[in-house]
Amino acid sequence: MNRKRIAFVINPNSGSDKKTDRVKLIRSLINYSYDSEIILWKNISDRDEIFQNVSTGEFDIAVAVGGDGTVSQLAEVLCETDVALGIIPFGSGNGLARHLGIPLKPAAAMKLLETGVVKKIDRGRINNRSFFCTAGVGFDARIGKLFAESETRGFWTYGKMTLSEFRSYKAENYSIEIDGKKLERTAFLMTIANAGQYGNNAWIAPKANVADEILHFSILLPFRWWNMVGIAGKMFGKKLDTSRFLESFTGKKITITRKSEGAIHYDGEPDFMGTELIASIDSAALNVVVPNNFKG
C-alpha cells in the first residue's frame, strides 16, 4: 500500500492565535505513518507558487494550518483536483471547520488526518469569487470590513463592533432573483450560504448542507434593538430559521441588485463589489477530510 503524502501549509500570520509556534507544534504532532512536508507561507507574494506546488498531485492531502482566509484560499486552489483539503483551525471564527465537525484542538484535528474519510463538498461563487461557508451583503459585510481593519481579533471584538455599529446602520433595498423568481426586499443583511454558519457557531442558515448542491439564502429583515437578544439567541441556538425576522430560500443561482456598489464578504473576507452580485453553486467541487460520521 502506498503511503499517504501530506503537505502542511502553515500561515503564521493568520487567525487569532499568533503566539503559538505553529511549525514546532505541527512537527511535534506529525505521525510517521505517512510522509509529510511542512510548507511555510510567510509572505503573501509566495501564495501562487506554494499553492501550485501542493495542487499538482504529489500530495494526497494539503492541510491549511491557519485562519479562515487560509482555509478558503487553499480550498479554492484544490477544487477540481484529487488532492483533499485538511484543516488545522487557527481562525477567529473557524466556520468551515466547525460545520464539517473538525476538532478545534490541533492534536485532535491532526489525528483526524489518519482516522477521517474524504468526502466531496460544494463550492459557492459570488461574481466568480469562491466561498465555502457564506457570502453576503448588508450589516455583516459592514462589520466584516471593520473587523478586518481592527488591531484586535476574536469573538468579543466582533461583538463590540456589532453593538456599536447597529445604532447608525440603515437597512438597504434590494432586487433579488432566485432561479428566475423575482422579489424585492428591504433587508438588514442577506447571506448566501453553502455551509450553515459564519463561525463561532453563529448559524445564519441552520438547514444548509455543503453537499446538497444548492445555495441557502437567508434574508434578515429590519428589527429594533430590543429584538437583538432574541435573534442572537436563536442564531447561536441553531434556530434562526424560526425567527419572524428571517426569510429562507434555496436555489442554484441567486442574483442580488442594489442601488450602489459597496461592501460584501465571502468566508469572512471583506471585499468591495458593484451593484449586481451573482451567486452560483459548483457541485462536489472539493475533496475534504472529515469525521466518519459527517453528514453534510
Quickly tell me which residue has 479562515 as its cell. Answer: 68
Residues in the chain: 296
Q: What is the pLDDT of residues 34-72, one digit of tens each?
A: 999 999 888 777 888 888 888 887 899 999 999 888 999
Q: Annotate 12-74 with three-state secondary structure.
A: CCCCCCCCCCHHHHHHHHCCCCCEEEEEECCCHHHHHHHHHHHCCCCCCEEEEEECHHHHHHH
- pLDDT on residue 93: 87
| pLDDT tens column, 246-287 | 999 999 999 999 999 999 999 988 999 999 999 999 999 999
The confidence band for 131, taking pLDDT boundaries of 50, 70 and 90, is very high
Instruction: Answer yes or no: CATH 3.40.50.740 is held by domain 129-283.
Output: no
List Cβ neighbours of 28 (8 Å cut-off, separation of 6 or more): none
Report pLDDT digits (tens) over 185-224.
999 999 999 999 999 899 999 999 999 999 999 999 999 9
Burial class, 279, CB count within 10 angstroms (exposed 0-12 / middle 13-18 / buried 19+): buried
What is the per-residue pLDDT across 214-250, written as a single tens digit (0 to 9) for each?
999 999 999 999 999 999 999 999 999 999 999 999 9
The pLDDT-based confidence of 1 (bands split at 50, 70, 90) is low
Note if the pTM is more than 0.85: yes
Segment 62-86 mean pLDDT: 94
**CA 240 – CA 131 distance, rounded (Å):** 22
Where are the domain boundaries for CATH 2.60.200.40 in the chain? Answer: 129-283
Least Cα distance to 14 among 93, 73, 96, 70 occurs for 70
* Cβ burial, residue 224 (10 Å; 0-12/13-18/19+): exposed
Sign of CA dihedral 289, 292, 293, 295: positive
Distance of alpha carbon 162 from alpha carbon 274, whole angstroms? 24
Superfamily the domain 5-115 falls into = Probable inorganic polyphosphate/atp-NAD kinase; domain 1 (3.40.50.10330)
Q: Name the pLDDT band for 115 (thresholds 50, 70, 90).
A: very high
Backbone angles phi, psi at 146, to 5 degrees: -65, -40
Collect all residues with Cβ–Cβ distance below 8 Å to 85 and sequence separation of at least 6: 61, 62, 63, 64, 71, 74, 75, 78, 286, 287, 288, 289
Residue intervals of the chain classified under CATH 3.40.50.10330 are 5-115
